[in-house]
Structure 1
Amino acid sequence: MHIPEPRGPISAALLAILAGRPEDIPEGLAGLPSLVTARLAEAGDVVEDEDVQLALFCLYELHYGGLDGVDDGWEWHPGVITVRRLLEQPFEQALRAASSAAVSDVPQVPAAGPVSDGVATVLFALAALDTGPSLSKHVAKKATVSQLREFLVHKSIYQLKEADPHTWAIPRLTGRAKAALVEIQADEYGGGRADRMHSALFARTMRALGLDDGYGAYVDTVPAIALASVNMMSLFGLNRRLRGAIAGHLAMYEMTSSRPNQLYGNGFRRLNFDAAATAYFDEHVEADAVHEQIAGRDLAGGLVEAEPDLLPDVLFGATAAIAVDARLTLRMMDAWENGQSSLRSGLAAAGAAAA
């Protein structure tokens, strides 16, 4: 991914350091932890802090496809990991607070019956909660072409590498939960067909609407909350202690996918887009109707059955997914209802910058 434009002192200092070689002693690296600590003391809500979320996103990207021109040796550099942990701690705390506020009354797992079924019952109950305006219904009935393009840009930060953050959990799980995750991920990656990978289908949708389908092409355009939604998955997936959270997140992701994707596809068809644009959504209508059962009972439920102490983290991952998705939805809906763009800069400006 191309190196994004800094959004504050942390991301500016970090990106300047990453431009150097890890075997050297970059100027500023020793002082970066102090800068981060001072900046965090002044920050408000880190979930929507542009500087914090961009810095975290860049740090996590070192573990994925990397950053253009940045030495791969930075991935596990102790100084960089120190900074990542300094940013992760308040981010996790903020996610826990946001998830508790979004879902204040989490149902209890039924005492009777199999544990895995009980966990699935609770997750399905959480998925049924309606905490705000429906983005999928807006897309189906009212969205303009420009709003569809903005919707895709927000989603592209994750969807163009769809499944990757959850895949980190495979070696952290065993038995039934591991097998369930592998089954889900195999579908996400197209069952071995590169053209059927869900990320490839999403790229096709972007091209159908005249958008750049390069990974991270719009990283400078999306707001902090869009980055936070991906950073949350990376936080859960890269930290073994949060394996319960990544399982709960994926379960909730699958349980809240099938019907919305049907509505998204209908919205694109309403505006006369063909199968090249709707294949991504249509694929998820069928696939996620199956995945939600596997994710709820076998992945999340199987994990709690094997490791009962992970139940709170499974529920945390699920409710955090609800909370962050609701905030991203509100960002888009509020902007559109007021006749404004939901992005940091217009797509025309983004296209000119990319050119």
Structure 2
Amino acid sequence: MNLVINESQPLWEYLRCAEKPVVLYGMGDGALKILAVCRQYGIPIAGIFASDEFVRGHSFEGYPVESLAQIEERLGDFIVLLCFGVDYDSMLERIAELSRRHETYAPDIPVFGSDLFTPEYFREHQAELEQVYGLLADDESRQIYADLLAYKLSGKLEYLYRHMGSREEDFGSILTPGPGSVYVDLGAYDGDTVEEFIRHCPDYGWIWALEPDPKNFRKLQAAAGELPRTTLVPKGSYSGEGELTFSARGGRNSALAESGKKLRPVELTSVDALLQGNRADYIKMDVEGVERETLLGCRETIARWKPQLSVAAYHRTGDLWELPLLVRKLGPDYRLYLRRHKYVPAWEIILYAI
């Protein structure tokens, strides 16, 4: 099986030569990162606009924040770069409608790290990317993989809108927890994925739920603190036990960090240390960029019990090849599946090992 990517012109090179002005849609961390890349490539930015409800006569990075109507009146036609993430239907439809009026892209910027998926990056890691493509267990996974790589090069929304699934759909078709299953939830947030698991496996054996962010952990306690056969742990997951600096943002994006706001020390543990040789049947990890380290902390559990795995594979540019290859190294008998859940840009990419 050959991996074919039908995109010859990378987004950043196209934008550098574009005749139409380039504008940003959105503010915040995403806009800061995209502005930095545009400056790196010498791409001039003609303006920034926001949804009408966020336009308050203020500025962002020296640009007045305009409405779409204002920027259309000023510029006419232009290229839009989407600078935020979204998963709810009304906003996804708004973005789709915008793309029918103006050329619109969602640049692929890593959540963590600075590597961009450029043609040079693709060539450097082509052997590993093709190896992973060959390891994927079904046609849907291979199509998602090829479309994701095409998206990462081009920023084209069409590749994202082709694949808008959900974990609910994955239960039963890929994930098959049965009565007595032991579930380990790494990055349990406010308990939503614990509740999701129980819906599909009401006769579970035990639940271990880890969440390092104090605000999120309080929500987790409120949602799951009274559940039977459940242990809640206010720690982060890693390759071993210890302590590292943590950025407590009170949302899904709380993460280990070296610098930034709201930094605090956080206790870490590994799945192997947590379980002490006991069984796990299903491990879900969405741990904000430390999936590799967390997998290494599961090596004994994987070798002994071969639990089903659900691994977030979108936080770092290398996740799409590094994580599948690591999973197969730890568990050579695993069958690998890739699914993408509803989100723009290319977040919520899930690697399943069964």
| TM-score normalised per structure 1 | 0.23
Q: Which has the larger radius of gyration?
A: 2
- Higher relative strand content: 2
More RCO (CA 8 Å, sep 6+): 1
- Higher relative helix content: 1
